Amino acid sequence: MIQREERWANRGVEGRASQPIRQPGREAMVMAAAMIGVLMLGLQLWLLTVALDMFLSANQNELWVLSAGSGIVFLGGAVAFWMLLGRRSLRRRKR
């Protein structure tokens, strides 16, 4: 009987479960992060395409610069992903 009363105590006036409080601007931040990620992926693919074209045409003067740039973009995305996972695990530990 106590469990049933606790369950109904968390419901709103209309009998529906109350909605969790959302932080303002959270959706905009997620969309901005997704757009930055898509742009970085496009940049990395373009760098790799140009590097492959230079490699196949035997023009290897700037090949390593383009490859290094693509690697830096990859590492930046990997670090951002690692930081995002770290924030989620910290949030779970606090509960």
Residue ranges per domain, the chain?
A: 25-94
Copy the structure tokens of residue 10: 């968390």
**Assessment of whether the complete model's pTM goes beyond 0.85:** no
Closest CA to 63 of 53, 73, 76: 53
Predicted confidence pLDDT, tens digits, the chain (95 residues)? 555 555 555 555 555 556 667 778 878 888 888 888 899 989 999 998 998 898 898 888 888 888 888 889 999 888 888 887 776 655 555 55
Give strand pairing partners of 17: 11
- Cα–Cα distance between 44 and 65 in angstroms, integer? 13
